[in-house]
Amino acid sequence: MDSPDSSAGSEAGSVNERRSQHDLRRIFDAACQITAPFFDAKQSWGGSSLTMYARQALREAYPELTQQEVAILFSGVARFHRGISKNV
């Protein structure tokens, strides 16, 4: 997706930038907003969590992403939401 050249690192703020999914980083905030209802502990369906639907919501919102990119984005979004629920 992104080439690991030094210009990508300097764009992100560091020449030694290890992260490479810059396109995913750009949509991360919007992805967190899209998936927020699925990670809300007050929301459930028959007592079951709705987090499995968050991945599908990401696929529908970003059809241009590969399955691997959706998996990476979902992983980051899930970590983000788990961090919020710990702080509440």
Spatial separation of the C-alpha atoms in residues 80 and 61, rounded to whole Å: 18
7-64, pLDDT tens digit by residue?
444 444 556 655 566 788 899 999 999 999 998 888 878 777 788 899 999 999 999 9
- pTM score of the predicted model: 0.69
Q: What is the structure's pLDDT at 53?
A: 92
How many Å separate Cα 80 from the centre of its chain?
Answer: 8
CA angle 84, 85, 86 (to 5 degrees): 90
Residue 2 domain-assigned (yes or no): no
Residue 58 domain-assigned (yes or no): yes
Q: What is the structure's pLDDT at 8?
A: 43
69-81, pLDDT tens digit by residue?
999 999 999 999 9
- The tally of domains found in the chain comes to 1
Residue 17 domain-assigned (yes or no): no
Residue 7 domain-assigned (yes or no): no
